[in-house]
Structure 1
């Protein structure tokens, strides 16, 4: 019996349904797991995504032929029953459940199992075959609870503010930035966001996600605010002229990669906070076990290590070669409207 999902040059393809999942080249029909730029690309003829993803997809891709589906609702296409289920990664992220000929496959996209107030929690979906990410698929990656991480972030910000220094926290503009904003203590000082972050904040708020008040740097009238603020911006902004207006600022990067000593130094940051929107090693294993799948297909990240480990546990494990990043690589760090602003 042929597989429900196979590899093609354009991406992961469902032959009986004649559609792709997160294709990296333009195709007629695409099912999109989430709006990060390595999974949702411009140029497809038709897009299907979870309903909560509509705002962020349109913010990033503009006018596209987009069909949305509430979580859990099923539709049939060429005899394949398709439904989308929460992935807990970012707003609107989804796992794609495919049912055809009595078989069930689930393509996870990116996911995390830890709680996150900015998106719908991960939902385990029973299946025969599970296509899982493995971005942080090594035993070294084990995340601390968010409240511990944000206690560190708030303490760092408060110390800097007491010394009249801005706190510049670099993180991906979609997903991580909103999670940071939801987790910090806004009573410490004003919060300024980069222009790449603002439209995504608006999309989150439109979906009912509460975020603290934020300002653009051009909206700051009291220069003293620039010496006690928290600045949330994408990584590329830290090396741009945009940052100069904050003076002698302290910089930090929020990422799962900060788990490994040396990444902070190589990035030139003063601090590193371990905060990821992907599952850690225990989370990946927890999610895989919960599916009940006997066959696991691993994509991107530490796929070789994960395949070996699962094989040793008696599962049928293999990998797909994809063009997804090991984490998000944002090509749109600084929109033209923000250049030099």
Structure 2
């Protein structure tokens, strides 16, 4: 089987193939980027870099200066000793799982992913081939994390906005500028009410529009006109004066971490909505059972031993992938 090494916070290196996955460093000739969140972008890439067209655009917006080769879903790139294909990951727009095939075996790297997929993505699709090694993130790695279906989540988000507006309050949704913000906008579009989004998130919305996603009626945040609009911003923006002039407002925190009631007092919010762009604990275990890889590598998780226990119970060989793994 192929050797798999952890390289940095998120980066993965396949040393025999000189292939990097979300990898910064000199040891990869070819680097494949899973999605446009800053913690997965290889800021110091040395080799040829590939990403889906939306991810390439997000990388440019976020300041990447080097050339990125567009690799659409389903199209294969061949190197001297491998072939690589992107599959939709369902996390944010453009997010991709990377499937690497070689004479030494194959690897499916999940990056960050969501199944069922976010409705503001290209969906979720697995390769048809039998998987030798599956590298999976496990952000929500405890059984307490179980999401409601999107029908209920959409109803909760829509009702929060509608009831606030009917009571003459300004609804504010706390969400990441890339991915979660646009997902909320997509879920709220049928409400037909104008949205103002944090400036850093606003510039990213054009990529969604170009890819055919309807985000409703929206504009960039304007302190002077924001009252009475639906507002979307990251949690950190509230500490920097976002909508501080609006006296009557209700705040919803949208994240998988909203499962924990303690977040309500930590953030001083009115409602917790567990809307995540990652899969929940049980979806992760069920997906591994479905894939039946020869080996599962668990990464980016606070509780690898819990995930490993459940995979052991399912008869699936697994290993926590840290910087000492080979």
TM-score, normalised with respect to structure 2 = 0.90
Aligned counterparts of 1:25 and 1:251: Cα–Cα separation in 2: 41
Aligned counterparts of 1:168 and 1:5: Cα–Cα separation in 2: 43
RMSD: 2.1
CA contact (8 A) 2:186 2:215 kept: yes
1:284: Cα distance to partner?
0.8
1:219: Cα distance to partner?
8.8
The residue number in structure 1 matching 2:203 is 199
The residue number in structure 2 matching 1:327 is none
Match of 1:183 among 176, 184, 187: 187
In structure 1, runs of 5+ residues without a counterpart are 323-341
1:162 is aligned to 2:166: yes
CA contact (8 A) 1:189 1:228 kept: no
Q: Which shows bigger deviation, 300-309 or 30-39?
A: 300-309
Which secondary structure state, in structure 2, belongs to the residue aligned with residue 227 of structure 1? coil
Which secondary structure state, in structure 1, belongs to the residue aligned with residue 40 of structure 2? coil
In structure 2, runs of 5+ residues without a counterpart are none
Aligned counterparts of 1:39 and 1:9: Cα–Cα separation in 2: 10
1:176: Cα distance to partner?
0.4
The residue number in structure 2 matching 1:69 is 71
Aligned counterparts of 1:24 and 1:275: Cα–Cα separation in 2: 30
1:313: Cα distance to partner?
2.1
CA contact (8 A) 2:296 2:319 kept: yes
The residue number in structure 2 matching 1:272 is 272
Deviations 1:158-188 (A, max 9, x none): 2221222211111011110111000015546
Deviations 1:243-292 (A, max 9, x none): 21333321111000111221222122121111000011221123212322
The residue number in structure 1 matching 2:93 is 91
Which secondary structure state, in structure 1, belongs to the residue aligned with residue 222 of structure 2? helix
The residue number in structure 2 matching 1:309 is 310
CA contact (8 A) 1:138 1:306 kept: yes
CA contact (8 A) 1:85 1:96 kept: yes
1:201: Cα distance to partner?
0.6
1:57: Cα distance to partner?
2.1
The residue number in structure 1 matching 2:4 is 5
Q: Which shows bigger deviation, 93-102 or 180-189?
A: 180-189
Deviations 1:9-61 (A, max 9, x none): 58311113213111256776421111111111423233211233222222223
CA contact (8 A) 2:52 2:71 kept: yes
Deviations 1:295-326 (A, max 9, x none): 1100012322101221222221101127xxxx
User: Structure 1 residues 172, 217: closer, same or farther in 2, change over 3 A?
Assistant: closer
User: Structure 1 residues 51, 188: closer, same or farther in 2, change over 3 A?
Assistant: closer
The residue number in structure 2 matching 1:31 is 32
Q: Which shows bigger deviation, 44-53 or 259-268?
A: 44-53
Number of residues of Structure 1 aligned to a counterpart in Structure 2: 317
Which secondary structure state, in structure 2, belongs to the residue aligned with residue 218 of structure 1? coil
* Superposed counterparts of 1:85-124, under 5 Å: 85-101=87-103, 103-124=105-126
The residue number in structure 2 matching 1:297 is 297
Aligned counterparts of 1:7 and 1:149: Cα–Cα separation in 2: 35
CA contact (8 A) 1:96 1:107 kept: yes
Aligned counterparts of 1:7 and 1:117: Cα–Cα separation in 2: 31
* Superposed counterparts of 1:129-168, under 5 Å: 129-168=133-172
Q: Which shows bigger deviation, 83-92 or 148-157?
A: 148-157
User: Structure 1 residues 185, 98: closer, same or farther in 2, change over 3 A?
Assistant: closer
TM-score, normalised with respect to structure 1 = 0.86
The residue number in structure 1 matching 2:51 is 49
The residue number in structure 2 matching 1:326 is none
User: Structure 1 residues 9, 91: closer, same or farther in 2, change over 3 A?
Assistant: closer
The residue number in structure 2 matching 1:336 is none
The residue number in structure 2 matching 1:333 is none
CA contact (8 A) 2:24 2:45 kept: no
1:93: Cα distance to partner?
0.7
